[in-house]
Amino acid sequence: MAGPAHPVQLAPPPVEPARRAAPSRTGRLQRLWRRYPGLAIGGTVIVLIVLAALLAPLVSPRDPSSQSLLRRLSAPGANGYLLGADEFGRDILSRLLWGSRISLVVGLLAVGVGAVVGQALGLLAGFYRGWVDAAVVRLLDVLLTFPPILLAIAIVAAAGSGVTNVIAAIALTNVPRFARVVRASTLSARETEYVNAARVLGASDWRIVARHIVPNILSPVIIIATLNIGAAILTEASLSFLGLGVAPPTPTWGGMIQAGTQQLERAPWIALSAGVAIMLTVLGFNLLGDGVRDALDPRLAER
């Protein structure tokens, strides 16, 4: 006689893995802050400075060129001047806000133009090699023989002051930095397998450069650009300090420092306020550049 049948045991239904909730915007910001604090701090500082420059017509307490000789050299907080007044009775806070526009425009455009020209020269030299490479390298060697600030002073002194000439002079000093890095990256990228495969398939030089080389060399260009904006702002301030920048009465941070040096004993806040503004801006761009480098470098991202 057959024994009792064993009950059939049914397998439990599979348990679906719990879906992770998509991180909120606040969570992403907190993770970014913990992983790249320099990028977060520098980006915050730069965003605040850019907003102050854009909103200068709305938030400036007074006209930056309005003079009041009766209130000249007013101390910070006196006579309604939050940061004091200069030797002509002009509001320092208003001049700082409007001066930030000149510094940011010069810094961004000078580095942008220098990056475009330097990248073009670096691509030509690294991709075609031969006499093109030799000619570009010799040109870069000539530019590198001059200290950047002296080269900018010579160009502005010869061409004249003004925003356009200052941007052109600072851009020219930035060209060798970008060209050398792009040339080295292009020399490495042109020997990769995917570039050789594209060349065998009949792709034109322009297509190879645009589709296969440029996307792979953008990381160092972006890093150098963010780091050099602060240096460009310092150069513009130095030119304005020497009287070779934007002509007064247009407010510039370097011009404010130059005027404030004559009143250091009586009104140190004139030069100090502009100096602190330059320091914070350059520090913000330097932190931003370091953070961008850490974020784009895969070796640092793995740590």
Q: Are 235 and 148 in contact (CB under 8 A)?
A: yes
Percent of the chain with pLDDT over 70: 87
pTM for this entry:
0.82
Nearest to 99 by CA among 225, 267, 270: 270
Percent of the chain with pLDDT over 90: 28
| Domain range annotation of the chain | 105-297
Q: Are 216 and 198 in contact (CB under 8 A)?
A: no
Q: Are 189 and 195 in contact (CB under 8 A)?
A: yes
List pLDDT tens digits, range 27-62.
666 676 677 788 888 889 999 999 999 999 999 988
List pLDDT tens digits, range 11-25.
555 555 545 555 566
Indicate the average pLDDT of the chain. 84
- Which amino acid is located at 297 in the chain? D
Per the CATH hierarchy, to which homologous superfamily does domain 105-297 belong? MetI-like (1.10.3720.10)
List pLDDT tens digits, range 141-167.
988 888 888 888 888 888 887 888 899
Instruction: Please enumerate in sequence order all residues whose Cβ is within 8 A of that of 91, keeping only pairs 6 or more positions apart, or say none.
Output: 60, 61, 62, 64, 66, 81, 83, 85
Q: Are 135 and 205 in contact (CB under 8 A)?
A: no
- Which amino acid is located at 256 in the chain? M
Q: How many residues are recorded in the chain?
A: 303
Grade residue 248 by pLDDT with cuts at 50, 70 and 90.
Answer: confident
